[in-house]
Structure 1
Amino acid sequence: MTYKHLFSRSLSAKPDRLHFAAHSHHLWPDASFDGQTAAWEDAARMADLKWGHIMGPVWGEAQRHIARELSLPDPSTIAFSPNTHDFLVRIFSAIPKRPVRVLATDGEFHSFRRQMARWVEAGEAILSTVSADKLTATAEASDFDLIFASHVLFNSGAIITDLEGLAALAKPEGPWVVIDGYHGFMAIATDLSAIADRVFYVSGGYKYAMAGEGVCFLHAPPGFAPRPVITGWYAAFEDLALPPGAVGYAQDGGRFLGSTFDPSGLYRFNAVRRMLDAEGLTTPKVSAHVAELQKHFIDANALPDFRLLNPSGSGNHARFLAYKGPGAAALHAQLENRNVITDVRGDVLRIGFGLYQDAEDVDRLIEILRAR
């Protein structure tokens, strides 16, 4: 089965390219172009009045799409921002004590690691890191203010399956549990209904949501972090009648909002979700397509000198295969010279799969690897 017709603009823009980095920069489907155009046309037509439309129907539609995808009971717990780092900073700012005792996996993304290292350097945080398989046990055995963990680890593709165990530790007074869902959202079926009242969840549109940059979101459980110290005027969007000097906050996820932003990502995200609905493409169905391509590649054994860190199994699987070997960086560069786009992290070559690929694309990749 091929879905290339949904990506005709991106594929025709560079027809000789093999793009196996959907986990890094997902090619944009045609629907996202329609969404981008709609954002421009609304701005031209409504001018200053566009914000009522954006913060109303556009915003609400995006919230509903996310709530349905994650089985969240209340779409109003969702806030949007240009990046997930904004939300990390605001959540951290809401913790009243210093230094903040933080527990995380040893495989978190660069932006988290850099920001946490700077907070540790400044005396704002004390950081403990453990392997993903020891996270829950470590959290249960010690006192922490913040527990931060990726649902799917960006470097290895390992999946943390005990979200319920982490959620059981969360309390409004602390610890707070933050799940980074960037490599899980719309990549593996995720049901947060049983833990939505206790965990924060952050993700965005850059990867498997196929919506590009600038459309990240946070699910904020009610009663947790009611007054972030780092805040913008949109966090009081419906509370502008307060007396001068009073700092009011929205009671829903809006308490984590910043200030004026580029809304085009919301338009793209909504357009892509409508496309998926029209095509009957749920996350499990897309994952099944990807799993077939991954199996085809694995069975070919085109990288015998590398070790596959995340072999396929019967359960959920990341949308990329992580191959570890000393020649990862050189092979990545060699492939790029052949117009094959992959991704490398240290000695790990990541090969990502998506809707815009079919078996013929995988065969071409296998042939190129065998000929190196």
Structure 2
Amino acid sequence: MYAEPNALWPDYGRFRVRERLLLTGHSHQAWPDAGFAGQVRAWEHAAEFADLKWGPAFEVAESVRRHWARLLDDRDGDITLGQNTHELVTRFLSALDLRARPRVVTTDGEFHSIRRQLDRLAEEGLEVVRVPVAGTATLAERLAAVVDDRTAAVMVSSVLFGSARIVPHLAAVAEACTLHGAELLVDSYHHIDAVPFSVRAEGLDAAFVVGGGYKYCQLGEGNCFLRVPPGNRMRPLFTGWFSEFSALADAQRGAVVYGEGPDRFAGSTYDPTAHYRAEAVFGFFETRGLTPELLREVSQHQVGLLMERFDALDLDPRVVRRDREGPLQQVAGFLALESDRAAELQQGLRELGVLTDSRRNVLRFGPAPYLSDAQLMRAMETLEEAVRQLRS
């Protein structure tokens, strides 16, 4: 996969990955052609079965759940599917007893699906404690230290979306939550299929885990999940009628009933097309042997190559510089470059034929397994030209 032609190029013909420098891997990876076949299959099922399509669609959804459980190395939890992480995070928050425990602990580096919602809740009086992400090596311990008996939940990413830094020792946070009776929600969106993830190995058996497939899994929009700890009996305030499908009507006569397993946090009517696409792409990954372990090996090689080529450019650090907090092994799936003019550099790169993404003062080069080494080197050489044009 490092050579030209890259062995995966034929599998991504519709996205024209051999012709384009798509360094948007952290934001939007290309979809394999298998996903197109899955999307067509969803349309064909709708045409053939009409309203009876939900039977086959639910079978596809169950297949997608099994794939997520496999990527989480999870044998016991329940996987609830959602269109986006925000709807799942909101249901989680609505299930907390915030009257008795009006405090949520998080970091100052969470993705917007968590960050914005907590900001708004803080305006209404929720106490939100934000632990700085600077010094990632000790982040888990610092989070654990501020959990108390008033804390309803800790909400933290396993990989920071701004810097690609892997957050170690999350088991310490899980232990603190268990000690104080708080819930733990781990955002794994920037972890899954970039770095191998294991609920069991990380000591997160009692944790909620949220994530999705828009990025490293190449599933496209509409494919997110919430892993719910086994035996969980919480009652989300924001609850969809799909939760009633597996509920016994007389179980709680006079009260709102909740389904069992993944239905407890379920929503309502959705577009099943995304799940057909996901099932097809998951199948493609298995057929091609694109395991989390192999993808991690490729990612480390690619991010390391980007770092090496960036350092060789010796660009003015006042214009653009890279994060050097820790070794390559502590970095997930992209290279974060810091610049006060990150958005301008992104635009300049786009005009020169290299697609990247940026957030505030961070320019992100996101490689993917369908990119050759030569493509990555050309992209980094283009950055030198973009900086030159920026300063002219």
Scaled to the shorter chain, the TM-score interval is over 0.9
Output the aligned Cα RMSD.
2.1
SS of equivalent residue, structure 1 residue 107: coil
> C-alpha displacement at 1:276, in angstroms?
1.0
Q: Paired residue for 1:82? A: 83
SS of equivalent residue, structure 1 residue 145: strand
Q: Paired residue for 1:122? A: 124
CA distance in 2, matches of 1:261, 1:142: 36
The AA in structure 2 aligned to 1:7 is Y
> C-alpha displacement at 1:290, in angstroms?
2.3
Q: Taking structure 1 as the reference length, what is the TM-score of the superposition?
A: 0.92
8 Å contact from structure 2 (residues 306, 335) kept in 1: no
Q: Paired residue for 1:202? A: 210
Q: Paired residue for 2:11? A: 6
Matched, 1:181 2:188: yes
Matched, 1:219 2:227: yes
Question: What pairs with 1:40-189 in structure 2 (closer than 5 Å)?
Answer: 40-55=43-58, 57-74=59-76, 77-98=78-99, 100-123=102-125, 125-132=126-133, 133-143=138-148, 144-171=151-178, 174-189=181-196
Per-residue CA deviation, residues 302-325 of structure 1 (Å, 9 max, x unaligned), is 363332225773635311100112
> C-alpha displacement at 1:18, in angstroms?
1.4
The AA in structure 1 aligned to 2:145 is E
CA distance in 1, matches of 2:210, 2:22: 26
> C-alpha displacement at 1:28, in angstroms?
1.1
Matched, 1:354 2:356: no
8 Å contact from structure 2 (residues 300, 329) kept in 1: no
SS of equivalent residue, structure 1 residue 169: helix
SS of equivalent residue, structure 1 residue 222: coil
CA distance in 1, matches of 2:232, 2:181: 9
The AA in structure 1 aligned to 2:275 is L
8 Å contact from structure 1 (residues 172, 225) kept in 2: no
CA distance in 1, matches of 2:293, 2:315: 30
SS of equivalent residue, structure 2 residue 177: coil
Correspondent of 1:261 among 255, 270, 281: 270
CA distance in 1, matches of 2:285, 2:270: 26
8 Å contact from structure 2 (residues 140, 172) kept in 1: no
> C-alpha displacement at 1:167, in angstroms?
1.6
Q: Taking structure 2 as the reference length, what is the TM-score of the superposition?
A: 0.88
The AA in structure 1 aligned to 2:16 is L
The AA in structure 1 aligned to 2:349 is L
SS of equivalent residue, structure 2 residue 210: strand
Question: What pairs with 1:192-341 in structure 2 (closer than 5 Å)?
Answer: 192-194=199-201, 195-224=203-232, 226-239=234-247, 241-242=249-250, 245-300=254-309, 301=311, 302=313, 304-305=315-316, 306-309=320-323, 313=327, 315=329, 317-341=331-355
CA distance in 1, matches of 2:82, 2:66: 16
8 Å contact from structure 2 (residues 23, 354) kept in 1: yes
8 Å contact from structure 1 (residues 172, 224) kept in 2: no
8 Å contact from structure 2 (residues 357, 364) kept in 1: yes
The AA in structure 2 aligned to 1:216 is C
How many residue pairs get matched? Answer: 367
CA distance in 1, matches of 2:277, 2:326: 31
Unaligned runs of 5+ in 2: none
The AA in structure 1 aligned to 2:154 is I
CA 1:163–1:345: 2 relative to 1, 3 Å:
same
CA distance in 1, matches of 2:282, 2:207: 25
Unaligned runs of 5+ in 1: none
The AA in structure 2 aligned to 1:128 is V
CA distance in 2, matches of 1:179, 1:34: 32
275-284 vs 240-249, which moves further: 240-249
CA distance in 2, matches of 1:295, 1:90: 39
SS of equivalent residue, structure 1 residue 103: strand
8 Å contact from structure 2 (residues 106, 143) kept in 1: no
SS of equivalent residue, structure 2 residue 329: coil
CA distance in 1, matches of 2:122, 2:70: 37
